[in-house]
């Protein structure tokens, strides 16, 4: 992870637009660059990703731009949006049907069907943690468009990717990077940034398995730069860094290499989703007491700790060392 990640790089801005009372930047489509190099011969296991299309309702209206920004504030890389959206069961969302991405058999298939990249992320994340934790159960990634019922309420694009402890799945709309990370939050996007997002969500799955999640949640809701809630998020960033380091060191991984540009995009994504960056963009002010995920600098720092050490044990220090 680069210490000074993105400043020298063009973010591809093409202007800005008002969303509610908020001006946000429009950036170029992520497809203009940022695909990682895939190992074309690597075997994939498509059963670890489910695709649900045709969710009723299309893009969910959540009441205009300011609400969207507030949701992003609360939920970028969140856990269980049901708690915040009032939904507790998977009743809404219509009858979305799920299928495995059976067309994704090898790394070469990513070039034919870009959705196959999510099979690569899920396979590499599951393989990483399976090698570290005895009795590890693979976590499924569920892709959806529009909205879909989950064990944590209805998922929609606007709530961003999340891990649901009730059904042990990671959920995201595959257009998340383009629609939210790039267009709304001004990140550069790219496959490595997506792998970071997925790595973060799988990190929450690990926290769920080992009991950290329950520990922090039983202590009650808290926010603020020094809160256990923020430490939980930073630990997930650190786990994502350790996962990316592992992928970068495996010559036979479905991701054949992670370049400096890829790492810059990862660091840039951590910057874009920092609470202070989002607050500046949405309100023009920074209020550390309401942080839920940590500042850009904190997120980049713990991502880098995971990447540089390659050791998830080092990520526990976030709970004792502070930042
Ligand atoms: Zn998170």
Question: Does residue 13 sit within a domain?
Answer: no
pLDDT band at 282 (very low <50, low <70, confident <90, very high): confident
φ and ψ of 65, to 5 deg: -65, -40
pLDDT for 80 equals 53
pTM score of the predicted model: 0.82
CA of 55 to the centre of ligand 1 (A): 24
Cα of 108 to ligand 1 centre, how many Å?
30
Q: Which residue has the tokens 């950290």?
A: 212
CA 5 to mean position of chain CA atoms = 19
Q: How many angstroms is it from 112 CA to the middle of ligand 1?
A: 31
Interval between CA 25 and ligand 1 midpoint (Å): 24
Q: What is the mean pLDDT of residues 39-49?
A: 96
Confidence at 78, pLDDT banded by 50, 70, 90: low
**Rounded distance from Cα 8 to ligand 1 centre (Å):** 28
Question: What local confidence, expressed as pLDDT, does residue 97 receive?
Answer: 67
User: Quick check: is 28 in a domain?
Assistant: no
Task: Supply the pLDDT for residue 181.
Answer: 87
The mean per-residue pLDDT over the stretch 137-150 comes to: 93
Cα–Cα distance between 107 and 105 in angstroms, integer? 7
Ligand 1 centre to CA of 79 (Å) is 6
If you measure from the C-alpha of residue 313 to the centroid of ligand 1, how many angstroms do you get, rounded to a whole number? Answer: 18
**How many domains, the chain?**
1
Q: What is the mean pLDDT of the chain?
A: 81
pLDDT recorded at residue 17: 35
Judged against a pLDDT cut of 70, whether residue 38 lies above it is answered with yes
The confidence score (pLDDT) of residue 190 equals: 94
Kind plus residue range of the DSSP H or E element containing 13: strand 13-19
Residue 247 in domain = yes
Q: Is 126 helix (H, G, I), strand (E, B) or coil?
A: helix
Question: What's the gap in Å between 298 CA and the centre of ligand 1?
Answer: 13
- 234 CA distance to ligand 1 middle (Å): 8
- CA-closest candidate to residue 186, choices 63, 20, 65, 6: 6
Exposure letters 42-73 (e unless 16+ CB within 10 A, then b): bebbbebbbbbeebeeeebebeebeebbbbbb
Position 162 scores a pLDDT of: 92
How many angstroms is it from 30 CA to the middle of ligand 1? 22
4 within domain boundaries = no
Of the candidates 235, 283, 269, 214, the residue with the CA atom closest to the CA atom of residue 73: 283
Give the structural domain span for 169: 39-319
Angle, helix 228-249 to helix 191-210, in steps of 10 degrees:
120
Higher pLDDT, 172 or 77: 172
Residue 277 near residue 211 (C-beta atoms within 8 A): no
Burial of 18: CB neighbours in 10 Å, binned 0-12, 13-18, 19+? exposed
Residue 47 pLDDT greater than 60, yes or no: yes
Please give the distance, rounded to the nearest whole angstrom, from the Cα atom of residue 74 to the centre of ligand 1.
10
The pLDDT value recorded for residue 55 is: 62
CA of 71 to the centre of ligand 1 (A): 14
Cα 289 to Cα 169, 236, 317, distances in angstroms: 30, 20, 21
**Lowest mean per-residue pLDDT among 21-25, 44-48, 172-176:** 21-25
Query: Average of pLDDT values for 22-49?
Result: 72
User: 304 or 185: which carries more pLDDT confidence?
Assistant: 304
State the distance from the centre of ligand 1 to the C-alpha of 169, rounded, in angstroms.
14
State mean pLDDT over 253-268: 94
Ligand 1 centre and the CA of 315: distance in Å?
Answer: 14
Task: Answer yes or no: are the C-beta atoms of 268 and 49 closer than 8 Å.
Answer: no
> Is the separation of the CB atoms in 72 and 185 below 8 Å?
yes
* Cα of 198 from ligand 1 centre, angstroms: 10
Question: Does pLDDT of 140 surpass 70?
Answer: yes
Is 238 within a domain? yes
The answer to whether residue 84 is domain-embedded is: yes
Q: What is the pLDDT of residue 13?
A: 33
pLDDT for 305-321, tens place per residue?
Answer: 999 999 999 999 999 86
Distance (Å) from CA 229 to ligand 1 centroid: 9
CA of 282 to the centre of ligand 1 (A): 20
77 CA to middle of ligand 1, Å?
A: 4
Instruction: For residue range 201-246, list pLDDT tens digits in order.
Output: 999 999 999 999 999 988 887 889 999 999 999 999 999 999 999 9
Question: Is 294 within the bounds of a domain?
Answer: yes
Domain assignment present for residue 177? The answer is yes
| More confident of the two residues 117 and 176 | 117
């Amino acid at each position: 992870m680069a210490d000074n990640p993105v400043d020298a790089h063009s973010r591809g801005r093409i202007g800005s637009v008002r969303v509610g009372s908020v001006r946000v930047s429009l950036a170029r489509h992520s497809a203009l660059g940022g695909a990682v190099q895939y190992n074309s011969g690597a075997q994939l296991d498509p059963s670890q990703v489910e695709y649900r299309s045709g969710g009723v309702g299309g893009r969910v209206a959540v009441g205009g731009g300011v609400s969207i920004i507030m949701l992003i504030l609360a939920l970028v890389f969140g856990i269980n949006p049901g708690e915040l959206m009032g939904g507790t069961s998977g009743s809404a969302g219509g009858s979305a049907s799920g299928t495995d991405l059976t067309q994704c058999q090898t790394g070469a298939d990513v070039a034919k069907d870009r959705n196959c990249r999510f099979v690569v992320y899920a396979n590499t994340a599951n393989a990483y943690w399976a090698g570290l934790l005895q009795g590890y159960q693979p976590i499924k990634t569920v892709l959806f468009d529009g909205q879909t019922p989950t064990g944590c309420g209805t998922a929609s694009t606007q709530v961003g990717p999340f891990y649901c402890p009730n059904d042990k799945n990671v959920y995201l709309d595959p257009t998340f990077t383009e629609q939210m990370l790039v267009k709304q939050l001004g990140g550069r996007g790219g496959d490595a940034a997506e792998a970071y997002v997925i790595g973060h969500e799988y990190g929450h799955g690990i926290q769920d398995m080992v009991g950290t999640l329950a520990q922090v949640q039983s202590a009650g809701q808290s926010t603020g730069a020094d809160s256990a809630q923020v430490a939980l998020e930073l630990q997930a960033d650190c786990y994502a860094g350790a996962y990316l380091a592992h992928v970068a060191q495996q010559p036979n991984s479905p991701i054949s290499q992670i370049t400096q540009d890829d790492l810059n995009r990862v660091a840039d994504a951590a910057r874009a989703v920092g609470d202070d960056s989002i607050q500046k963009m949405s309100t023009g002010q920074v209020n550390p007491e309401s942080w839920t995920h940590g500042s850009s600098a904190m997120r980049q720092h713990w991502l880098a700790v995971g990447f540089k050490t390659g050791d998830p044990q080092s990520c526990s220090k976030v709970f004792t060392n502070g930042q």
